[in-house]
Amino acid sequence: MKKLLATLVLTALLGGCASATKPVDPTDALMQPYAGDVPGASLLVIKDGKPIVHRGYGLANLEDNDRATPATNYRLASVTKQFTAASILLLAEHHRLNLDDPIRRWLPSLPVTTATVTLRQLLTHTGGLVDYEDLIPPGTTEQVNDNDVLRMLSGTSKTYFAPGSAYRYSNTGYVLLGLVVEKASGVSLPLYLQQHIFQPLGMSHTLMYVRGGPEVDHRAYGYSEENGSWTRTDQSVTSATRGDGGIYSSIDDLAKWDAALYDDRLLSDASRELAFSPHVKVTGEPYEASYGYGWRITGDTLWHSGESIGFRNVIVRWPKQHLTVILLSNRNEPEPYQTALKIAQPFLTH
């Protein structure tokens, strides 16, 4: 009997040791803050065109207990800017506009102080236009739309600096670029994106969301942590503008976008070179980078983050290594850029 007990104890101890020493997936360890019954994330790592990591963590909707999956659609926030920039480049390719057009050619209600601001400068955040957030009247509760932004900009002669003389990140510029897409194409910005980017690439669940328009399938709702608990903070007064942040998409659809950035199936070689070239040094932001058209450039990476109330997203590409990390989350923290860089490390060849 004693011998049997000793054997059982030894077996239990060995089993415990085996489970204790079981290797922990380093990616899951880094994504631990998103796991469980909390606002979550979807993560994609693509190497040489193949998904190496393709997972959801946590919840897309706390109230309904919907799990986050690779098909969950998140508000991309400023990751939208690369799509707005691509739309401008496509219209330039088709001679519907010129990158050196003054913005007032397309939006003549803007004040004369913006007379020399060009589309190219808006693409690189060097136009010097005032942030529309600073023009919203105190106490505003209704959501501000793109036409409201144009109206507010048209009513102020203030600028931050002479066009082309400095860098200052500008949501205003990309809202106006979205309006230019509509003027130059003759269709709405959501429809232009649908017809010329999303449908051709098979991004069938991606859309630029507008209230009253098509609903978002498999939608993640945004949350913020307040006093130790999560509160839904999905929309704010600035959540209805479009060209600077209005697209919803999933890691599954963004994989198709990433693939299209390696060849000319969407944008010409010349357009992609413009988008991915360092036109200006980024200043006033907590990292070393230059800016292309809707992309930040740091070393060998092309990347962009997106932050909106209740959402934090990032896409980081290493084109020379055919590696991409996309992390979309429906929560106000943590900021995902550094996490994405750490997730990439095992897949990088140094």
- By CB atoms closer than 10 A (0-12, 13-18, 19+), residue 211 is exposed
Active site residues: 78
Residue range 279-327, pLDDT digits in tens: 999 999 989 999 999 999 999 999 999 999 999 999 999 999 999 999 9
Closest C-alpha among 68, 47, 64 to residue 255: 47
The dotted CATH code for 27-347 is 3.40.710.10
Closest C-alpha among 334, 177, 329 to residue 244: 177
Identify residue 159 by its one-letter amino acid code: T
Contacts of 302 (CB under 8 A, 6+ apart): 276, 292, 295, 296, 316, 317, 319
Q: What are the phi and psi torsion angles at 326 (to 5°)?
A: -120, 125
Please give the pLDDT value at position 14: 43
Strands (E), the chain: 41-47, 50-57, 59-61, 66-67, 74-75, 207-208, 223-226, 229-232, 247-249, 280-281, 290-291, 296-298, 301-308, 311-318, 323-329
* DSSP 3-state percent helix, strand, coil across the chain (nearest 5): 35, 20, 45
Please give the pLDDT value at position 75: 97
Helix pair 171-185, 146-154: axis angle to 10 deg? 110
Distance CA 6, CA 240 (A): 68
Please give the pLDDT value at position 43: 98
Residue range 43-84, pLDDT digits in tens: 999 999 999 999 999 999 999 999 999 999 999 999 999 999
DSSP codes, 166-198:
-----HHHHHHHHHHHHHHHSS-HHHHHIIIII
pLDDT per residue rounded down to tens, the chain (350 residues): 444 444 444 444 444 444 445 677 899 999 999 999 999 999 999 999 999 999 999 999 999 999 999 999 999 999 999 999 999 999 999 999 999 999 999 999 999 999 999 999 999 999 999 999 999 999 999 999 999 999 999 999 999 999 999 999 999 999 999 999 999 999 999 999 999 999 999 999 999 999 888 999 999 999 999 888 999 999 998 899 999 999 999 999 999 999 999 999 999 999 999 999 999 999 999 899 999 999 999 999 999 999 999 999 999 999 999 999 999 999 999 999 999 999 999 999 87
Q: What b-and-e string marks burial along 40-56, b requiring 16 or more CB atoms within 10 Å of the CB?
A: bbbbbbbbeeeeebbbb
In 3-state terms, what secondary structure has residue 244?
coil
DSSP codes, 128-155:
-BPPGGGGSPTT--SPP-HHHHHHHHHT
Distances (CA, A) of 247 to 145, 209, 219, 255, 324: 14, 6, 12, 15, 20
Please give the pLDDT value at position 211: 87
Q: How many helices (H) and strands (E) does the chain have?
A: 12, 15
Please give the pLDDT value at position 261: 98
